[in-house]
Structure 1
Amino acid sequence: MIQSSSSSMPKLYLLTNDDEFVLLYQKLEAALATGFIGLLQVRRKKTLALPDGESKLYKEASKIVELARTYNVPVVINDDIDLAAKLGVGVHLGQEDGNISDAKQQLSATQIIGRTCHGDINLVTEAKNDGASYAAMGAVFTSTTKPKADIVARQQLVEGCQQGIEMCLIGGLTPENVLELKDLPITYVAVVGDIMDLPVERIAERCQQWHEVFLKWGTLAP
């Protein structure tokens, strides 16, 4: 159901927030039903911090993965290779949260493996050499989710996109500012608050706005 008018058009990459699960599920269903989400990351730090966090996260993630499969949207689990393997999905790894080689051993060849690289070109190159599916750079702009995150310089983004690995950009991105990046060959534009901070009834409209901007991206790209 995901629509595309140009091979250069990025995919919208949605990350979960820490809403209560019932509300989170409603928001995810509203977003996924639009057909405009290209990748979904399960990131539930507050759930994981609970005394029974691991079992709770497994139950939540299982339901989210089942929902995403209904809409044919691939899923990655934040930082947890074992959980990703149990659920048959991909994983996104921070720099301190596991090795890409371990992920490749435990996951199937079709599963996505992402790597956080911040603004470091050497980390992007390392992610490529290690066999990651994509490298994530950011923050691009000031983010409500991580307001203290360092902003990555434009030149670093340009160089990151030249390393021969699919690129994901994250951090303060909105439909109103993302076209500032239209000259970069980006595979994923990752968002959390811009969509997940909205009430359920506004989610679909916001996803539609993202899609319309990406259609412009396709016509404006060199």
Structure 2
Amino acid sequence: MTEQSTVTSERAAPMLYLLTNDDEFDLLYAKLEVALATGVIGLLQIRRKQVLAQTHGQKKLYDEALKIVALANLYEVPVVINDDIALAVKLGVGVHLGQQDGAISEAKQQLESNQIIGRTCHGDVALVEEARSAGATYAAMGAIFASSTKPNADTISRQQLIDGCQQTIHNDIELCVIGGLRVENVVQLKGLPIAYMAVVGDILDLPVDSIAQRCQEWQQVLTNW
């Protein structure tokens, strides 16, 4: 392959980045307890769009997030809130921002310096560069594969992903990949300088008693990265 078609890095193996789904809260909490107890999860995002759409959704989300953050703290797993800087400040956690969900500069002003700030960048290397320049912790690229969570999301090409990787190799920003990631397909990304593998359905769509095993399968894949 030419230098333009591949990129490798000596960075450590990616971390597993778990995003919550829209399960009923008690079920979600039970799943999170199992997943976090495995020690495999390196970052947790609270994303509860169906809860937000309910009457008094903001209050419900805050009450849920308090419990989830407390659980994550037990296992020393950092947390980010999806698309809500004010809630992240209130909870003392990080934030993940879509392109239309607030400025990175605003998040940096309001959050503690050690809090993670993520930015959705789709397949656009220019957006990765913008996120880097603004001081984001990571740029999220995807969808890598079709997923059950966002079945209509556009998948990005391998070259787009490689171009995004090139922006992170010698810069102060990490790369996150998202969209349809499964134990069985992430081997296709091996060798790329990816910091976070963002997963929803491959773990949280499973019944509670299957989650520990799936997390261990992820651990094996990432250990052999």
Do they fold alike, i.e. is TM over 0.5? yes
Partner SS, residue 162 of structure 1: helix
Partner of 2:204: 196
Aligned length: 212
Task: Work out whether residues 11 and 193 of structure 2, in 8 Å CA contact, stay in contact via their aligned partners in 1.
Answer: no
Cα displacement (A) at 1:183: 1.6
Runs of 4+ in 1 over 4 A off after TM superposition: none
Partner SS, residue 27 of structure 2: helix
2:199 maps to a residue whose letter is: V
Partner of 1:64: 68
Which of residues 158, 161, 182 in structure 1 aligns to 2:190? 182
Cα displacement (A) at 1:7: 4.6
Cα displacement (A) at 1:215: 1.4
Measured in 1, the distance between the counterparts of 2:71 and 2:12 equals: 28
Partner SS, residue 86 of structure 2: helix
Measured in 1, the distance between the counterparts of 2:57 and 2:149 equals: 21
Partner SS, residue 166 of structure 2: coil
Which of residues 146, 155, 160 in structure 2 aligns to 1:156? 160
Cα displacement (A) at 1:8: 2.2
Which of residues 55, 60, 78 in structure 2 aligns to 1:51? 55
Structure 2 alignment gaps of length 5 or more:
1-9
Measured in 2, the distance between the counterparts of 1:93 and 1:15 equals: 14
Cα displacement (A) at 1:10: 0.4
Measured in 2, the distance between the counterparts of 1:191 and 1:48 equals: 21
Measured in 2, the distance between the counterparts of 1:191 and 1:161 equals: 19
Greater shift in the superposed pair: 162-171 or 27-36: 162-171
Partner of 1:129: 133
Structure 1 alignment gaps of length 5 or more:
1-5, 218-222
> TM-score scaled to structure 1, two decimals?
0.94
Which of residues 80, 101, 121 in structure 2 aligns to 1:117? 121
Taking every aligned residue pair, what percent have the same amino acid on both sides?
A: 68
| 1:28-50, Cα deviation, whole Å (9 max, x unpaired) | 00000000000000000010011
Partner SS, residue 224 of structure 2: helix
> TM-score scaled to structure 2, two decimals?
0.93
